[in-house]
Amino acid sequence: QSPQSSFSPSPIFTGSGDSASPCQAPAATPTEQSFADSVQRLVRDQFEQLASGLPERLARRKVLAGIVMSRGPDLDPSADLTVVCVTTGTKCLSGQHLDASGSCLLDCHAEILSRRCLLRFFHHQLATAIKSNSESIFQLATNGSNLRPEVSLHLYISTSPCGDARVFAPTDPGAAADASGDATEAANEDEHPTRASRGLLRTKIECGEGTIPVPATLVAQTWDGILGGERLLTMSCSDKVASWCLLGLQGCLLSRLVEPVYLRSIVIGSSFNRSHCRRALIGRLQRPAPGLPVAEPALLGVTERDPRQARAAPDCSLNWYCLDGVQPELVNSSTGRLVPETVTDASDSGGSNASRLSKRALFANYARLVHLLRRQHQAQSRRPQQQLRLPPVPKTGSSGITYREAKEACTEYRSAKSAMIGFLRQNGKGLWAAKPWELQEFT
């Protein structure tokens, strides 16, 4: 009998109150403001430490992101805070470098890489839980693991995510900031909330910066079309972060093993407008389907705004996460592969130029996790007195199955994502641009 998916969206949670309309977000309390500043400082300090050991041209950055884990009081700087990952980047893969092996990174925007680093961290924490269930941030249950209640996750981005959250903020009269670095409450109100341009899905510009609305006549992206010169479309960071608020950070494959994991807060370092951010990240997806609520992370600005980076964005992106021995990895954003001079036999790539955050690398990690889970189930059948409350073993994850087939087995997650895409389309927000199916045919 096929095991049931553990995917089950969590109830809505909010920041400072839950009465805000889809285009209004409550202001931060003094404690929450101090917490946001602490998150920013931790991510900045970790990046500076990592960058200090790199050549200047590889240490440059325009957008910085990171995820901080807290244990203790909610949105309180007195909590135990740990930097889980730090990333930089502002560019996407050039279509001419598309690769069917799953070895290249398609999107090197900083916040997107942070989530991919978080998946590596989740893999490690789930393996720890399966082995001992004591040192892990996850607690095991027979219907799927879940994040321990005292643990919460917080995303920092040095500027508002590209797309709907950012595109209007710099130009609206209300986007001017006061001396504290955050926009005033009056300024945070969208003066034109009903304009048709608000809330549209947008795609990133290949090998460049900025976003454009998804074409109304969007047709399926094809492998040969892109290799022949058509633009490779990648959904904006605003759209992707919004999907995390609905579907969870764990993604499709891990939805077989864990309950959805949501951000508790999103801290924005500059170009922050609460009204635009709330519409883009939360308001567009209010109740897309019965039983599918959108989580509402607290949206927080900072006291000291991240300085505007006026210089050209570097081609190199950096990623790092907090496991013993992990060194910063540097990726050429245009090729989606490691910067050549950083490839060594001692690196995580083992001499390959594929990133540890590529689809192929994450799928291999997932397969190892499933095999570990299968071995633990077999061991428990021989030693029932030492039972852990293990989640069911997906039938996927064995050698030979393709990445696409593994994702297709996650039926509940895929149904939820389809409902999200359909809801956005029906409400006039545009079409979700999917990548060519050939990118998922590797094993």
Q: Where are the domains of the chain?
A: 30-440
Quickly list DSSP for 154-200. EEEESSPPTTTTTSSTTTSGGG-B-TTSSB-TTTTS-S-TT-TTTT-
- 317 or 209, which is more confident: 317
What one-letter code names the amino acid at 47? F
- 16 or 208, which is more confident: 208
pTM score = 0.90
Average per-residue pLDDT for the chain: 86
Catalytic site residue 111? yes
How confident is the model at residue 348, as a pLDDT? 62
Q: Within 10 Å of residue 246's Cβ, how many Cβ atoms?
A: 24
Percentage of residues in the chain with pLDDT exceeding 70?
A: 83
SS3 68: strand
Read off the pLDDT of each residue in 193-216 and give the average, rounded to a whole number.
83
Read off the pLDDT of each residue in 180-207 and give the average, rounded to a whole number.
66
Residue 208 has pLDDT above 80, yes or no: no
Q: What is the DSSP letter of 269?
A: -
Closest CA to 111 of 346, 280, 338, 258: 280
Lowest mean pLDDT among 220-224, 276-280, 384-388, 403-407: 384-388
Out of 111, 259, 296, 329, pick the active-site residue. 111
Lowest mean pLDDT among 22-26, 206-210, 239-243, 310-314: 22-26
Closest CA to 182 of 302, 64, 277: 302
pLDDT per position as a tens digit, 340-360: 888 766 566 555 899 999 999
Residue burial 1-17, b: 16+ Cβ < 10 Å; e: rest = eeeebbbbbeeeebbbe
Maximum mean pLDDT: which of 39-48, 199-208, 373-382: 39-48
Lowest mean pLDDT among 12-21, 47-56, 123-132, 274-283: 12-21
Lowest mean pLDDT among 209-218, 363-372, 390-399: 390-399
How confident is the model at residue 398, as a pLDDT? 53
The CA–CA distances, whole Å, from 220 to 203, 230, 267, 414 equal: 14, 12, 34, 18
